Structures are given as C-alpha cells and as structure tokens.
C-alpha cells in the first residue's frame, strides 16, 4: 500500500534555505572565534589577502568583529551567499502565488 501523503506532493529541496543556513552557521562560528580571540585562518604577512584585510574598509568601516580577517570573510560570504539565497527565496515565494 502506497503512502498517499508522500506521493501526492513532490518533495522539493529548498536550496536557498541551505545557502542562508550556511551563512548563519558561518556567522555563528565567526562570533565564537571572535569571542575566543582565535582564528582558524593563518594569514601570511605581506600577502594580498593580508593587505586587503588590513584595508580601512575592514578595520574602520565594516567591523562586526574584532579580527580584520573575520570582517573580510564575512563581507565575501555575504556578497556571494546572501544574494543567491535571497533570489532563491523570492523565486520560491513568487512561484507559490
């Protein structure tokens, strides 16, 4: 006997939920790392990444965390993951109407 509850409606994974959940998990990790004054990222001195993380943007203007590299990673992840998640959510919600 087939289960009619599971066959009447196709199961769609909501990719945008995974994207936004991943962004939230990353931010929770950064909060924990920042609170513990620890970073899993070892930035080489004199590298392009170190120069970018020490830019005024990540040391004075965009400073949700004490660590400049966390600020840089937050900006990168937010710029890449947030639009994808929001676009997916808007498409999903607009397709329901």
Predicted pLDDT of residue 97 = 64
**Residue 3 pLDDT greater than 60, yes or no:** no
Q: Mind listing the pLDDT tens digit for each residue in 11-63?
A: 556 888 999 999 999 999 999 998 988 888 777 788 888 888 888 888 888 88
* Whole-number Cα distances in Å, 6 to 15, 18, 92, 93, 96: 20, 22, 20, 22, 19
Give domain limits for the chain.
Answer: 14-96
Predicted pLDDT of residue 51 = 84
Predicted pLDDT of residue 29 = 94
Predicted pLDDT of residue 12 = 59
């Amino acid at each position: 006997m087939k289960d009619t509850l599971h066959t009447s409606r196709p199961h769609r994974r909501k990719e945008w939920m995974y994207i936004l959940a991943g962004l939230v998990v990353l931010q929770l990790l950064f909060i924990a790392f920042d609170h513990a004054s620890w970073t899993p990222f070892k930035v080489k001195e004199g590298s392009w990444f170190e120069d970018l993380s020490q830019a005024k943007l990540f040391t004075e203007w965009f400073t949700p965390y004490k660590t400049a590299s966390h600020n840089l990673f937050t900006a990168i992840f937010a710029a890449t993951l947030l639009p994808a998640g929001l676009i997916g959510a808007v498409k999903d919600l607009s397709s329901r109407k």
